[in-house]
Structure formats: structure tokens, C-alpha cells
Structure 1
Amino acid sequence: MKALIVSAILLLAPGAVLAAEGPITEARQLAELKRYDDAVAVLNAAKAQRPDDAELRLTLARVLSWKGDYRAASAELAGLPGAEAATIRGNLAYYQSDFATAQARYTEALTIAPEFDEARDGLTRVAAARAAEGPKWQVDAGTEYSGFSGSDQPDWNQQSVQITRRFNANRSAAHLRLVRYSQFGLNDGEVELGLAGRLGDRVSVYASLAGSPDADFRPEGRMAAGGAVRMTKSVWLTFDGRRDRYAAARVTSAAWGMRYEPHDGWALSSRMIRVSPSDSDAQTGYDLRLDGTIREGLRFYAGLADAPETVAAVTIDTRSAFAGIAWDMTQITTLRAGYGRDDRENTYVRHGFHVTVSHRF
């Protein structure tokens, strides 16, 4: 998208054909070849001779914005009035997915010069980008039931509600999650706050805090963080860390692994897992997971794990198998369902079933 904007400006900008503006013409030609550093050097040399030349500064701000040096471009625009300066400020905001600011700057430019086509085109791009963003809010409501074999453990169940707000052109999100757990004949509640986001096209991160007031079996507090780094077009390295604070112990978990995405809608993930309780030796394990697309609007996942699991502050090696589906019932509503089997060593075998409905608006 940025390349199309650059090409259009280079073709339409009137200064590109004026011989008197030699440095500007040369810089635009270099920019068209994506030789942005050379274009910046030409403009800076000319600016040293004519520091108050507004046209030079505007062109330099444009080239810096195309180069991706948004801070320097913004600094170059400082104090410059007029429709073109306002439009370039709008472009800077648009390139960074700040569509509200971009719209305000393009509108400002049209207030100054109602026939300024570049600003009008900018408003059209902003409208299209906002339409492509889709819903900003999501509500997830779910329930889970667990039965046991090999043990007289009473059945477990839990209910949860999560509200998520997306922002920054859907590159970031914040959520609030409320969960009620019924286990061991007792009830605990938990509140979780979390943030997640993408840092460019190669890095994603997340962090969350959770707590269970007056907990009987859940952690009294929990901190979690992690992320992924894209190494190639289809390979990501992942890391997840977590620390649970129980009344009787502290449990630190770390998992690191790789995710391979051979095609859109398909991924194979593998992680090594290490769990370190404060009251016993560290234990290690692994998990494997496959995500795929059956058809448009219908996805599945399946996996295996042999890893330590902490329940009520007790960490025991557990072998697990799990699978599930996600069905887009409409463009804004998704149904998820799944099954998991946990064989907790010398303790019990748990069969868990869960259903979640997600609605976006």
C-alpha cells in the first residue's frame, strides 16, 4: 500500500517537473528507485544551503516517511503550515495504523485547501482501512465439565466470560477474564487482565496478571508472559513463562519451542516444558500440536503432551491428548468445542469437555 502511495505522489507532485528544483527532482527519482538513503543525502545537502526552504523540508519529510523513519519525518515537519504539511502528517499516522489521527490531519488539509486531492485520497484510504479492521470488541462465554476414572474424585466444572478490546488496527488487544472453578467440592473465582500485541511483522508478545481472592485450590496470584519471533516466512520461535503463587508453594513454568506454518491456516507446534515448584525438584516434558483448516470457516486442532501439571499446588507428570474444532457460524460468531484426556500419574484420569461461544461486534 505504501508503495502505491509513493508512486502516485511522485507522479502527481508538481515539483517533480520543475528544473529549478534540481535536488527535489533528483531525490524523487532516487526515492522511486527505493534508494531512500541517497535521496535523503541529496536533500540534506541542499537543505544545508537553503535551511528555510519549505519545499525542501516537505520533500525530505516525505522521503523519510517512505523510508520508515517516522520520528525524523515528523521532526522535519515541525512548524510547517499548510495543506501539504498536514497531509504528510496524515500519511505518517496512516503508515503507523493510527487512523483516527490520519483522518484528523487529512480533514485539516482539506479545510485549508478543499481541492487538495492527496488529502481526499487519504480519507478514502482511511475509510477502507477502518472497514477492513472489522469488529473491535469480542465476548467469549464458555463452560467446561470434567469427569474422572480410576478415582472417586467428584466431577469438576467451570464457567468463564472474557471481554476483549482490539486496538491499533487490530495489532493489539486487551482482555478481562472472569472464571468460576468448582473442584474438590470447593469453589474458587479468578480475575485475569491481559495485553497482547504485534511489534512489527516479526514479533508478537503477551502478558497477563491473575488472582483468586481467598483461594482454596487455585493460585492466589499468577503472572504470565511470552511471545513469538518470526525467523523465516514459515518458522517462528516461541517462549512462554509463568509464575503461580499458592499459599503453600511457588511454581515457575517455562516453555520454549517452534511453530511451523507451511500454508495459511496450518501450523505445527512443539515445545519443551520445565516446571519448577519451590517445594520439590524441577520436572520437564513436552507437547505437540497441529492446527489446520478443514474448509473455510471450519478449523481443528489436535495434540499430545507428556509434561508436568500443577493442580492445587501439587506438580505431577501428566500424559495428555486433546482435540477440538472452531466453527464460524456467522461472520461475527464462532463456536468452539473440544475434548481433553489427562492421565495424571498414579492419581486419576480426567476427561474434560468444553464449549465456548465467541461474538464480535
Structure 2
Amino acid sequence: MRRPLAAVMAAVAALAVQAAPALAQDSVYDRAVAARLAGDPARAISLLQPWLAAHPGDADALVQYGYALLALGEYDRAEQAFADTLSLAPDYADAREGMALAAARRSNGTAARRSFILAEGALSDLDRGQRDWHELGLAASLTAGERSTLDLRGNWYERFGIRDSEFGALLTHRAGQDLWLRVGGSFAPDADFRPEVGASAGLDYRFAHHSVASIDAGWQQFPAQTIWTLRPGFTQYLGGGQYSVTLQASAAAASRRDVLVGASVRGDYFAGDRTRFFAGAASGPETDLGIVRQTTSLFFGGEVALGGDVSLLGSAGREWSGIGADRSEARIGLKLLL
């Protein structure tokens, strides 16, 4: 009986040795997934790194590693993990979705963006029998080195049968790993209702990998008066960056009027590469016509990739004004990535 028993024990031992890596993988994989889903991507990474060092061909672990990196804002490393996964398993849907999400995060302001040109038009229908407003715009967002972006714009406005043209520029510079600074200016030749000149400055600061605090200040010299604005805000990214909620306060003061204050809330859903949707509400000061007036508005819109490097943008909103007519606005645009 000893020989058969010894043979059985040897066979069991051999099977245990063969199964050990798989059992270890299940343990590491399950704990890593649980950590990531519990909102601790750093823990998931610490679990997966030694496993992947020993088993670089584990596609499932690579995908989880990529999503954990994505949650921490490590876009380059996340894209590499997803690319490595697709080289092992070209049809791995989760890896392809991860690549799209990483690209979407790059376009939401927390990472470098590709250059693009945007052509846009808007139509506003005013109540009380007043004439519609019209607007056309052309903008270009250009990368200026590895850390800076230069945004240029030109707009044509028609309000109450009067026309104005306005031109502006905004320079955004990534001053640190989590700090973005921006400064801008604008002018309108022969301005009737748009600001003759204007200047702005602001910053974004990212902390805890998924939260961004911001503040913007502006000065505009309109034909009738000078207006100052201040807008502090906070953005929280959720679901590994797939969703965001932005809260913003606003204050505006004119040389001929007391300070008005307000606030807004906006939610964004980043569905994939160049596909996003948003909706929000605001109540506070509005200065579009060179006066400070209190308004309340609801709005929604989004961007959908049409294929290649072209995207369709659209939005709609309703504004209720304490001074003047209420209005409904529809806006549509085409964006071409360069």
C-alpha cells in the first residue's frame, strides 16, 4: 500500500505546485480589484506591481493595473498598461474602453490636450417680442511646448440689431505636477456693448488625485462702465474620472452698482474618447451686455465624435433675467483635432 499512497501524494503535490500561481493570482487579483473598487487605487497598484513583474502576460491583472493608474491620474502609464493588454489580447473590450477613458481624461483639463480648431454658432430667442440674438465664433487651441496651451478666439455678436466683434487670447501653463496657471486678454474694436478691453487671470490646483480647486478673476472695460468678476470653484472627479461635479461661486461688481453674488453646479459624464455630456444650473450675476444683472439658468449639452478627428458639439439653455427679457439659447459647433 505504501507505493500507491506515495504515488498519490506525489501527484497531489505536483498538482499543488502547478496550481499555486493560479491561486496566488486569484488572491492578489481579488484583493486588488476590491481595493480599486473601494476607492484605494494606490493599494491596488501596490498589490499588482509585484505580480505583474513575475507574470507580465497576465492580461486581466494588466487591465486592473491600468484602471488603478487611471484613477490616480497617471494617464501615460495607464495607456501603456492598456496597450500592453491589447498586444496580448486584441479583442479585450475593457482594455479598449480604458484607452478611450484615458484619452477623455486628457481632454477634461487635468492633462495635456491636443490642438484643435472650433467653429461655433449660437441663436437666442428672446421673450417680449425682442429681436433674436446671433453669434458666430472661431477658436483655436494650440499646444505651446510640453506644458503650455494657447487659446485664440474671434467672435461676432449681434444684439438688438447692433453688431460687435471681439478677439481674445488665453495662455495656460502647467507650472507643476498639480498646478495650472492662466492669463488672458481681449479687445473689441469700436465696441458698442462688448468690452473694449479685458484681462483675466486664474489657476487650477489638483489635490488627492481626483479633486481640483480653481479661481478666476477678471477685469473688463465696457463702453459704459468697468466690471470686475471673481469666480472660485471646486471640481470632484468620480468613478475613476468618468464623472465630475463642479461647484462654482461668482461675484461681480461694477463702477455704478453694488456687488452681486451667485453660484452654479454642473455635472459631466465622460463616456469615451471625445464623447461627453453635461448639465447644470446657475443663479448669479451676468455681465454679457456690460451691465451687472441677476439671472437664473438651466443648461445641458455635450460632444460626440463623428469619426476621425471631427467632433460635433451642441448645447441648449434657458435664462430667466431680473432685468430685460428672458431667453432660450441653442449652440452648435464642429471641432477638428490637429
Q: Is the 8 A contact 1:196 1:206 kept in 2?
A: yes
| TM-score, normalization by structure 1 | 0.60
Q: 1:158 deviation in Å?
A: 0.6
**2:133 is aligned with 1:148:** no
Q: Structure 1's 245 and 298: CA in aligned 2 closer, same or farther, altered over 3 A?
A: same
Give the 5 Å matches for 1:75-154.
137-149=115-127, 151-154=128-131
1:251-278: CA deviation from partner (whole Å, max 9, x where unpaired): 0000112110122232101011110111
**2:241 is aligned with 1:251:** no
Bigger RCO (CA 8 Å, 6+ sep):
2
Q: Structure 1's 359 and 187: CA in aligned 2 closer, same or farther, altered over 3 A?
A: same
* Equivalent in 262, 267, 271 of residue 244 of structure 2: 267
1:296-354: CA deviation from partner (whole Å, max 9, x where unpaired): 54210111000011132221110011100101112411111000111011422111110
CA distance in 2, matches of 1:305, 1:285: 8
Query: What does residue 310 of structure 1 align with?
Result: 287
Query: What does residue 234 of structure 1 align with?
Result: 210
Give the 5 Å matches for 1:17-56.
none
* Aligned residue identity for 1:156: W
Give the 5 Å matches for 1:218-229.
218-229=194-205
Q: 1:211 deviation in Å?
A: 0.6
* Aligned residue identity for 1:211: F
Q: 1:295 deviation in Å?
A: 4.9
* Aligned residue identity for 2:216: D
Q: 1:162 deviation in Å?
A: 1.1
CA distance in 1, matches of 2:247, 2:326: 24
Instruction: Give the 3-state SS of the residue equivalent to 1:147 in structure 2.
Output: strand
**2:176 is aligned with 1:200:** yes
* Equivalent in 317, 339, 350 of residue 327 of structure 2: 350
* Aligned residue identity for 1:217: F
* Aligned residue identity for 1:231: F
CA distance in 2, matches of 1:346, 1:275: 15
| TM-score, normalization by structure 2 | 0.64
CA distance in 1, matches of 2:336, 2:266: 25
Cα RMSD, aligned residues only: 2.0
Instruction: Give the 3-state SS of the residue equivalent to 1:281 in structure 2.
Output: strand
CA distance in 1, matches of 2:274, 2:228: 37
* Aligned residue identity for 2:171: L
CA distance in 2, matches of 1:257, 1:177: 24
CA distance in 2, matches of 1:176, 1:321: 27
Q: Is the 8 A contact 2:283 2:296 kept in 1?
A: yes
Q: 1:207 deviation in Å?
A: 1.6
Q: Structure 1's 198 and 265: CA in aligned 2 closer, same or farther, altered over 3 A?
A: farther
* Aligned residue identity for 1:141: A
1:91-136: CA deviation from partner (whole Å, max 9, x where unpaired): xxxxxxxxxxxxxxxxxxxxxxxxxxxxxxxxxxxxxxxxx99996
Aligned length: 228
**2:270 is aligned with 1:293:** yes
Bigger mean CA offset, 248-257 vs 296-305: 296-305
Query: What does residue 215 of structure 1 align with?
Result: 191
* Aligned residue identity for 1:197: H
Q: Is the 8 A contact 2:283 2:295 kept in 1?
A: yes
Q: Is the 8 A contact 2:193 2:223 kept in 1?
A: no
Query: What does residue 324 of structure 1 align with?
Result: 301
* Aligned residue identity for 1:140: L
Q: Is the 8 A contact 1:136 1:167 kept in 2?
A: no
* Aligned residue identity for 1:342: E
CA distance in 1, matches of 2:293, 2:274: 38
CA distance in 1, matches of 2:260, 2:151: 31
Q: Is the 8 A contact 2:196 2:222 kept in 1?
A: yes
Q: 1:198 deviation in Å?
A: 1.6
Q: Structure 1's 348 and 198: CA in aligned 2 closer, same or farther, altered over 3 A?
A: same
Query: What does residue 277 of structure 1 align with?
Result: 254
Q: 1:232 deviation in Å?
A: 1.4
CA distance in 2, matches of 1:247, 1:264: 43
* Aligned residue identity for 2:289: A
Instruction: Give the 3-state SS of the residue equivalent to 2:201 in structure 1.
Output: strand
**2:140 is aligned with 1:163:** yes
CA distance in 1, matches of 2:195, 2:172: 22
Q: Structure 1's 351 and 303: CA in aligned 2 closer, same or farther, altered over 3 A?
A: same
CA distance in 2, matches of 1:225, 1:252: 12
* Aligned residue identity for 1:305: A
Q: 1:247 deviation in Å?
A: 1.9
List alignment gaps of at least 5 residues for structure 1.
Answer: 1-131
* Aligned residue identity for 2:120: G
CA distance in 2, matches of 1:231, 1:296: 24
CA distance in 2, matches of 1:138, 1:326: 14
